[in-house]
């Protein structure tokens, strides 16, 4: 008996990078299941609509995923492709991260107008970023820099740099590499200088928990070491209850059966920065993330968070 051909609809944001990521998943699905009909549905999110406002002042979580998750829950799409760093640690009932493919380079990069490295930028150089995490870490090592808001898609940000609005901009390496723009990078920033965002460089394939067909198909793209690293990072973020308003960073790496993770909490101006690290078995990824969060809180991170939130942590 011949089964009816199922069409799978992927939901994605409409930016050049988001579409690249969705197309990459599309291509992988067609490789895994050659007869499958796959289409893309572009969905505009709150974060896409509010491009003139700093993310930290918009507040809330899920600015770049909520409308896509709503479409999943309504059955309008079958699979969502997100940048993992945009996905809140708590998902709506009925949805799950079905698969996390292998991570791209998680580092941040500097692109400067004149090809000048971070430590050689002129005093008072104008640096563009929309991230308080990046702002705090840059000001920690270069308090003389002048940090200014930079929103918009990757190509928009690069145009603003080329137009002379900034002396340099800070971006994620992963997006530039995916779009084939790695040749524009002036400097890859060491995690010792600029620790990445939680989940940076990883994709999240989100679907309905009860959709066995999509779960099995997406599961074939799973990369276990990336899943374990991201699990530890997101456990830390959930314990700290962090969002866009707080400079929190973490990066976990896997070697054999060992997990190592560094993380930090910083004040917005970068003067206070609490950093710590933890090591352990990959089987304890979630517990290690929670424990590292608690170490940060104990060593001064709790005080920073209380000042930023105005409430007890």
Q: Is residue 80 classed as helix, strand or coil in its secondary structure?
A: strand
> Which residues, 6+ apart, have CB-to-CB distance to 63 below 8 Å?
45, 46, 47, 50, 55, 86, 244
Residue in 256, 209, 250 with CA at minimum distance from that of residue 231: 250
Residue in 238, 220, 305, 77 with CA at minimum distance from that of residue 250: 238
Structure tokens at 207: 């679907």
Residue written as tokens 């992988």? 28
Instruction: Name the strands in the sheet holding 203-208, side by side, starting at the edge strand that comes first in the sequence.
Output: 37-42, 7-12, 79-83, 203-208, 95-99
Partners of 207 in the beta sheet?
Answer: 96
Q: How many CB atoms lie within 10 A of CB 179?
A: 15
Residue written as tokens 């530890």? 232
Structure tokens at 90: 């708590």
CA torsion sign for 215, 218, 223, 228 is negative
Q: How many CB atoms lie within 10 A of CB 262?
A: 18
Residue in 28, 34, 37, 33 with CA at minimum distance from that of residue 5: 37
Residue in 37, 34, 67 with CA at minimum distance from that of residue 49: 67
Q: Which sequence positions are flagged as catalytic?
A: 86
- Beta strand segments in the chain, E: 7-12, 37-42, 79-83, 95-99, 108-112, 126-128, 146-148, 168-172, 187-188, 203-208, 248-255, 258-266, 273-281
């Amino acid at each position: 008996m011949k089964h009816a051909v199922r069409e799978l609809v992927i939901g994605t944001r409409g930016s050049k990078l988001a579409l690249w990521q969705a197309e990459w998943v599309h291509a992988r699905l067609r490789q895994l299941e050659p007869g499958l009909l796959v289409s893309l549905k572009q969905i505009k999110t709150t974060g896409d609509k509010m491009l003139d406002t700093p993310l930290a002042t918009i507040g809330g979580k899920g600015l770049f995923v909520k409308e896509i998750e709503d479409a999943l829950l309504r059955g309008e799409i079958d699979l969502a492709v997100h940048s993992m760093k945009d996905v809140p640690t708590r998902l709506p009932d009925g949805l799950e991260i079905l698969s996390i493919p292998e991570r791209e380079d998680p580092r941040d990069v500097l692109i400067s107008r004149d090809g000048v490295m971070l430590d050689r930028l002129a005093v008072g150089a104008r640096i563009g970023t929309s991230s308080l995490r990046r702002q705090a870490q840059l000001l920690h090592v270069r308090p003389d820099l002048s940090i200014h808001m930079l929103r918009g898609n990757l190509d928009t940000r690069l145009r603003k740099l080329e137009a002379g609005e900034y002396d340099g901009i800070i971006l994620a390496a992963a997006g530039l590499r995916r779009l084939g723009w790695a040749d524009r990078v002036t400097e890859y920033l060491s995690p010792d200088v600029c620790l990445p965002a939680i989940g940076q460089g990883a994709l999240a394939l989100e679907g309905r928990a009860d959709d066995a067909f999509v779960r099995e198909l997406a599961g074939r793209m799973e990369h276990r070491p990336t899943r374990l690293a991201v699990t530890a990072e997101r456990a830390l973020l959930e314990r700290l209850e962090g969002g866009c308003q707080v400079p929190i960073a973490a990066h976990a790496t896997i070697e054999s059966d060992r997990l190592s993770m560094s993380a930090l909490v910083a004040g917005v101006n970068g003067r206070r920065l609490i950093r710590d690290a933890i090591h352990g078995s990959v089987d304890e990824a979630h517990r290690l993330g929670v424990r590292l969060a608690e170490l940060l809180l104990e060593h001064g991170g709790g005080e920073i968070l209380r000042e930023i939130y105005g409430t007890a942590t």
